[in-house]
Amino acid sequence: MVITYFGASYFKVQFGDTIIAYNPISKDSKLSGSKFGADIVLTSLNHPDFNGVEQATLGAKMPFIIRTPGEYEIKNVFIKGFSSNSGYDGDPGRINTMYRLSLEGMNLCFLGALGNPKIPSESVEAFEDIDVLFVPIGGEGVLTPAEAYKLAVSIEPKLIIPMHYETIGVKNALEVFLKESGTKVEAIDKLTLKKKDLDGKEGEIVVLSS
């Protein structure tokens, strides 16, 4: 599995010939993001910073699009979506979808634009045995760095990937988040991961360059 970051909460996850896009940034957004063809697109929030399906559609690649809670199985990827709250862009009533993915023997949890650290109990139960957790840390409608770290630790993933901090929300959010964790982490261009690479890891933070 190879994970690449394109800013905000926009990720590309590739394993074999299958490509998944998390929260692609729309052309209508003030943020900038890359374009590539995906097989599956997951969007957490109906906002141009997260719903740019056209940016994950290229050539013959016509992705299966998931925007709402529910259970899905596409190309041997098992997906569960869970409803939660976001206050993104000043709207405290926004509905955010969090996703759990199971693929290649690994479990990924993507919190999207989550704004409330008190997630529903059914989500807590579903987020057990998580290998990789994607958590927003930028504040101003999504979790603050302190809230994000506390929630991440409670989920007990093997790896934590912070997101949604570069151009929005709390100034120096990544620095604050790393200070909360008491660690110093150098950013890497992409994360290449196999199941065996997770052995012995507990809450290790991985910072990806965008």
What tens digit of pLDDT does each residue of 41-84 get? 999 999 999 999 999 998 877 899 999 999 999 999 999 999 99
Edge to edge, the sheet with strand 40-42 lists: 64-66, 40-42, 18-22, 11-15, 2-5, 190-192
State the Cα–Cα distance between residues 185 and 164, nearest whole angstrom.
17
Angle at 99 between CA 126 and CA 116, to 5 degrees: 80
Full-model pTM: 0.96
Residue in the block written with tokens 């994950």: 56
Comparing 1-5, 45-49, 114-118, 164-168, the range with the smallest average pLDDT is 164-168
What pLDDT sits at residue 167? 61
Q: Which amino acid, one-letter code, is at 5?
A: Y
Q: Is residue 92 part of a domain?
A: yes
Residue 210 within any structural domain of the chain: no
Residue 18: partners with Cβ closer than 8 Å, 6 or more residues away: 39, 40, 75, 76, 77
pLDDT digits over 81-138, tens only? 999 999 999 988 899 999 999 999 999 999 999 999 999 888 888 899 999 999 999 9
Print the domain residue range for 175: 2-205
Q: What is the CATH number of the domain that holds 128?
A: 3.60.15.10
Residue 74 belongs to some domain of the structure? yes
Residue 143 belongs to a domain: yes
Sign of CA dihedral 195, 205, 5, 189: negative
Residue 157 lies in a domain: yes
Is residue 77 in a domain?
Answer: yes
Listed as own residue / partner, the contacts of 66-70 with beta carbons closer than 8 Å and 24 or more positions apart are: 66/40, 66/41, 66/42, 66/99, 67/43, 67/97, 68/97, 69/97
Counting the structural domains of the chain, the total is: 1
What is the C-alpha to C-alpha distance for residues 58 and 136, in angstroms, rounded to an integer? 27
Helix runs in the chain, H state only: 121-126, 145-155, 173-181
